[in-house]
Amino acid sequence: MSENNSCAFRTSIGGQALIEGILMRGPKKQAIVCRTEDGLVEKTEELKFVKDKYPVLGLPFIRGCAIFLSSMVNGMKALSYSASLVPLEQQGEPDKLDKWIEDHFPAEQAQKLIIGVAVVLGIALSVLLFVFLPALLVGWCKPLTQSFFVRNLSEGALKVVILLVYMKLVSNMSDVKRLFSYHGAEHKTIFCYEHGKALTVENVRPESRFHPRCGTSFLLVVVLVSILVNSVVRVSNTFARVGWHLLLLPIVVGISYEINRWCGAHDNKLSAILSAPGKWLQHITTNEPDDDMIECAIRAMELVIPEEKGSDAWGN
């Protein structure tokens, strides 16, 4: 594996692992490449940015929430598309809610509703696991509630434990293992591109699968930043604390995004320290890919590299 992970060029191109495929998002368009029984299937589309319509959503500390929500929606759409390419005999039965939506709405509208429901449920699960559950459990432990400092720190530590346990548990599922291998292929391909090497399987294979600008790392940064931001909460009632934590969540996400953005643009001791926890988490969320996975990632990358060299530089 390549030991030199510092790059003279840092690209803003990022990706996401899909079901037997890769999503790559460039400065102007995104591409989905999935491997099927008939070979590689490609889908590209031009990107539309919410900040172009509402410039205020592109301002520092505000853009984080807008980008996070947009990424969630686009990610769910891409996952849904990749799932649709799986052979029918390998697809599970749709759950009752999805089936009800499909039976009562036109196909296009049903698809949008199913994705919307998935995003809402994803956010609800995150709130339950990382906001309500820590506040509830720590609230039950009276010795930890005598000091607001100890209580906030305990809730934050519990959030980290829940995140790590959750990631470790899902990483043992066979389908998720393959998903995390595609995640590794995505990182290796981006590193190869940033190192200025030709995008070939041979060049991509030895690159590191641990990338400092990973979206998964962002989740851990959010949890750590929430420990600091939520330290201003000075109420004892569990439900009141949950309410305050939800109100402060946009601030947490905004700060976390700016930290990730800054770390991605710098290569020094401070950026290394700040990005270290996220890279450590990638030991769980990325696996070594096989050559077929790398081919998917390479093709997806090729489809989004802009014609104007350097226009995809990080921070543009």
pLDDT classification of 177: cutoffs 50, 70, 90: very high
Above 50 in pLDDT, residue 178? yes
pLDDT, position 263: 82
- Residue 178 has, within 13 A of its CA and on its CB side, a CA count of 11
Q: Determine the length of the chain.
A: 316
Average pLDDT, integer, range 287-315: 94
Q: Tell me the pLDDT band of 5, cut-offs 50, 70 and 90.
A: low
Which residues, 6+ apart, have CB-to-CB distance to 81 below 8 Å?
Answer: 18, 32, 43
pLDDT of residue 122: 86
Mean pLDDT in the chain? 88
Side chain identity at 79, as an amino acid letter? L
pLDDT band at residue 247 using 50, 70 and 90 as cut-offs: very high
- Using pLDDT thresholds of 50, 70 and 90, give the confidence band for residue 1: very low
Query: Each residue of 192-237: pLDDT tens digit?
Result: 999 999 999 999 999 999 988 887 778 888 888 998 898 888 888 9
The per-residue pLDDT for range 103-157, each reduced to its tens digit, is 878 877 887 788 888 888 888 998 999 999 999 999 999 888 888 889 988 999 9
Q: What's residue 96's pLDDT?
A: 79
What is the model's pLDDT at position 14? Answer: 92
- CA 187, 182, 5 angle in degrees (round to 5)? 15
Average pLDDT over residues 70-81: 89
pLDDT of 4 > 60? The answer is no
In this structure, what token pair is assigned to residue 71?
A: 């990424």
What is the per-residue pLDDT for 7? 66
Residue ranges of domains in the chain? 14-90+126-304
Q: What is the pLDDT of residues 16-51, one digit of tens each?
A: 999 999 999 999 999 999 999 889 999 999 998 888
How confident is residue 3, by pLDDT bands cut at 50, 70 and 90? very low
Which pLDDT does position 290 carry in this prediction? Answer: 97
300: number of Cβ within 10 Å: 31
pLDDT category of residue 91 using cuts at 50, 70 and 90: low
Q: What CA–CA distance (Å, rounded) separates 193 from 7?
A: 10
What is the pLDDT, as a whole number, of residue 95? 73
Percent above pLDDT 90 for the chain: 50
Identify the pLDDT of residue 6.
59
Confidence grade of residue 2 (pLDDT, cut at 50, 70, 90) = very low
pLDDT confidence of residue 89 = 65
Burial 17-41 (b: 16+ CB within 10 A, else e): bbbbbbbbbbbeebbbbbbeeeeeb
Most confident listed range (113-117, 171-175, 183-187, 232-236): 183-187
